[in-house]
Chains A and B, each alone.
Chain A
Amino acid sequence: MMTNNAGRSYVVTALIAFAFLLAWHIGVQTTSSGGPPLDPEYAKLMGATATTGKSPMPGPLDVGAKLAEHLSQPFYDKGPNDKGIGIQLAWSVLRVAMGYGLAVLVAIPLGFLIGMSPMMNRALDPFIQLLKPVSPLAWMPLALYTIKDSGKSAIFVIFICSIWPMLINTAFGVASVRKEWLNVARTLEVGPFRRAFTVILPAAAPTIVTGMRISIGIAWLVIVAAEMLVGGTGIGYFVWNEWNNLSITNVIIAILVIGVVGMILDQALARVGRAVTFPE
């Protein structure tokens, strides 16, 4: 019965995708321009949108062909401003890894401290609540001005945006460890370090990992915006560069690729989450 249900859901997914692609394909069909014929010299200087009434929106076939072209040579390097999509992705993932890694290193120990002391929790709460909703792009000018390096600024922005969910979740997880377990530890005269690592950490791990999972999603959202701003390399720069060329085809490809990578990152942490969950 389970497998049957799963099989049916796959069929529905495929049907929805097919219906979407078909609607898209029909939606962008060329509308014949009813206007008077153009002077051939003039027509030669104009784009297809203006002369043949071709929709500026590419169809799924255009996107597919372009995607195949990108995937056939993902690592080409034609100078500082034109690199393959594989290289651009690698840059973005590297930046995310660095910013996010730093955030993990700071958020989890700090979250532990906040979670273990209700006083600190209340004292720091206003700051966290104030800084949490700030958009990545709002941090950028400040980062560029103070750090004086665009690459490091991008990493800083990822750091500052992805730290909050982890911090809050760690603090919450640590604070809500069952009193009974702590009391048992106290009765057995367990030292503070041992209590932190063998009682609190395993108990809070599922909540912490959930925070990490939210954070990686945010980090991946931020990288595109940050790279669009600083330029140079990365998938965000790719989107910006293709926007500059008004190439909707490439922008759609970038959206697809960003989605796939984001999904992979999210699923990786979901797996970690399952590994640390425990039945009560």
Chain B
Amino acid sequence: MSIFRDASDYRLRLRSGCSCGAHESQAAHDAAPVSGDNQIRRVVEGAILRAMFPQDEARRNFLRTVGASTAMAAISSIFPIAAATEVFAQGAKPERTDIKVGFIPITCATPIIMAAPMGFYSKHGLNVSVDKAAGWAVIRDKTINKEYDAAHMLSPMPLAISLGIGSNPVPYTIPAIENINGQAITLAMKHKDKRDPKQWKGFKLAVPFDYSMHNYLLRYYLAENGIDPDADIQIRSVPPPEMVANLRAENIDGFLAPDPVNQRAVFDGVGFIHLLSKELWDGHPCCAFAASREFVTQTPNTYAALLRAIIEATAYASKAENRKQIAEAIAPANYLNQPVTVVEQVLTGTYADGLGGVKRMPDRVDFDPFPWESFAVWILTQMKRWGQLKGDIDYQAVAKQVFLATDATRLMKEAGLTPPTTTTKTFSIMGKPFDASKPDDYLKSFAIKRG
């Protein structure tokens, strides 16, 4: 391995310019690609050597005399380096290993699902059973009842649960976001000439849940186009599996839904994809990996192991070259229960749009675990905008309590990834910038809002 210099190399300067000591400068360190296992082994070997020979001089002499590989071989005969490496890689031992994680069969849950068949959970010493749940309300109740230790939720849900909107207040957290982008507006075939939202008055549109990015994005999109989402059209909450059947039965005119629902509607010739959610807000969060604060604080090692597995799976899923393999792993009946080609079109971004064209959008869906606190603030502003949340709240405090950005930073570093250095960022939705430090001004700037 040439990307990472051998920690036992005697020529190594202990105080080089970077934090790990292996690079010429901090810039070189940041730029260097990392590989998990090898890096961990080097770190462990280095630590053992330094512990055995606290004096720099003595260690260098020893290594110079016998050679690095012989030295390590000699040490490993008396010290179980392999075991130590494994322990280090796994972190502290999880308090319990049998874990149940709930999910809804949509591609947003990809990292949570694929971590089971592709061995990310078992790598961290966990025996995770991923259980399919019938709807968002069920997954919420089962997680609150502790039947699930953690679950796949829509990212606004933990905020709503923590604030006690639509349920009893239970402190909830989002240790990691699952996916960004990856949603779409699909309309019934009969509306293929009505591509302007201004023509949509009187439509019945569906979203998966009241507390969903889908609901907020659809409302935002309609309102920007001068349509009042409560007065001019009807928005219904319909569980994703029932959406295509309802679209076929003409109960609804369209939906802003998670995939594979959109692609499935196209696959069956029922609807066409009007636009992808990334065209509204590129990089918006959608679903999240959620756990109760109790789980996080009472079984910290289990939580850390689980989160590490999820973060690694998310990183794996974000690479385009792995997507085909993932599609095959998650399409069977045990997980999404969809034709492989539908899942593949969603994940690879080469898809049929339902109108006879083939589109290529490699970033149709992406996976990024970092729970930006500014995402939470934006969601809270929309909850207030549409009257779900009444009265004044401390946006930043709620965001910090629910979106565990600091933990994600730490664990992403341990997994050999590069986390962002801040926990907030600015972004723009349909060209309108959002500044998380001025949520009330942002809210005031909208013409169409409730209350």
Residues of A whose CB lies within 8 Å of any CB of B are: 38-39, 41-42, 44-47, 49-51, 56, 78-82, 141, 144-145, 148-150, 228-232, 237, 240-246
Contact = CB atoms under 8 A, between A and B. Distances in A.
B352 A46 contact: yes
Given A49-B269, A231-B133, 17 more contacts: A39-B356, A45-B350, A45-B352, A47-B267, A47-B268, A47-B269, A56-B248, A80-B130, A81-B132, A81-B333, A148-B146, A150-B142, A229-B135, A230-B134, A231-B132, A240-B241, A241-B333
11 contacts: A42-B352, A42-B357, A42-B358, A45-B351, A79-B334, A80-B132, A82-B332, A144-B138, A232-B132, A244-B337, A246-B264
Contacts of B338: 245
A244 to B, nearest CB: 4
Given A229-B134, A240-B134, A45 B334 contact: no
Given A42-B357, A230-B138, A240-B134, A246 B341 contact: no
Given A46-B267, A243-B245, A245-B338, A80 B357 contact: no
A124 B322 CA distance: 65
B196 interface: no
A271 B268 CA distance: 47
A237 B339 CA distance: 19
Contacts of A229: 134-135, 138
Given A149-B147, A240-B241, A82 B334 contact: yes
A53 to B, nearest CB: 9
B269 to A, nearest CB: 3
A244 B242 CA distance: 7
A244 B241 contact: yes
Interface string B213-249: 0000000000000000000000000000110110010
Contacts of B356: 38-39, 42
Contacts of B409: none
Nearest to B239: A244
A39 B332 CA distance: 28
Nearest to A245: B337
Contacts of B337: 82, 241-242, 244-245
Contacts of B345: 45
Contacts of B350: 45
A229 B141 CA distance: 12
A185 to B, nearest CB: 51
Contacts of B269: 46-47, 49-51
B131 A45 contact: no
Contacts of A79: 116, 334
A145 B351 CA distance: 42
A222 to B, nearest CB: 16
Nearest to B147: A150
A145 B129 CA distance: 23
A39 B357 CA distance: 8
A231 B138 contact: yes
A39 B359 CA distance: 13
Contacts, number: 102
B145 interface: yes
Nearest to A140: B138
B245 A246 contact: yes
A240 B104 CA distance: 12
A29 B116 CA distance: 41
B105 interface: yes
Contacts of B142: 144, 150
Nearest 4 pairs between A and B by C-beta? A50-B269, A82-B334, A244-B241, A45-B352
Interface in B333-370: 333-335, 337-339, 341, 345, 350-352, 356-358
A232 B116 CA distance: 17
Given A144-B141, A144-B145, A149-B145, A246 B332 contact: no
B151 interface: no
Contacts of B248: 56
B268 A50 contact: yes
Contacts of A148: 145-146
Nearest to B344: A45
A150 B145 contact: yes
A112 B244 CA distance: 50
A246 B267 CA distance: 11
A38 B266 CA distance: 14
A82 B145 contact: no
B333 A82 contact: yes
Contact of B332 (A38, A47, A78, A243): A78
A78 B117 CA distance: 11
Contacts of A78: 332-334
Contacts of B268: 47, 49-50, 56, 246
Nearest to B100: A80
Interface string B317-340: 000000000000000111101110
Interface in B240-263: 241-242, 244-245, 248
A140 to B, nearest CB: 9
Contacts of A141: 137, 141
Nearest to B266: A46
Contacts of A44: 341
Contact of B241 (A51, A56, A81, A243): A243
In this complex, the member of A79, A145, A229, A242 whose beta carbon has the largest number of chain B beta carbons within 10 angstroms is A79
Contacts of B147: 149-150
Nearest to B267: A47
B267 A80 contact: no
Nearest to B146: A148
A145 B264 contact: no
A240 B241 CA distance: 8
A141 B268 CA distance: 33
A231 B134 contact: yes
Contacts of A230: 134, 138
Contacts of B137: 141
B339 A47 contact: yes
A244 B105 contact: yes
A49 B264 CA distance: 11
A280 B138 CA distance: 53
A141 B338 CA distance: 29
Interface in B102-154: 105, 116, 129-135, 137-138, 141-142, 145-147
A145 B137 CA distance: 11
B241 A231 contact: no
Contacts of A39: 356, 358
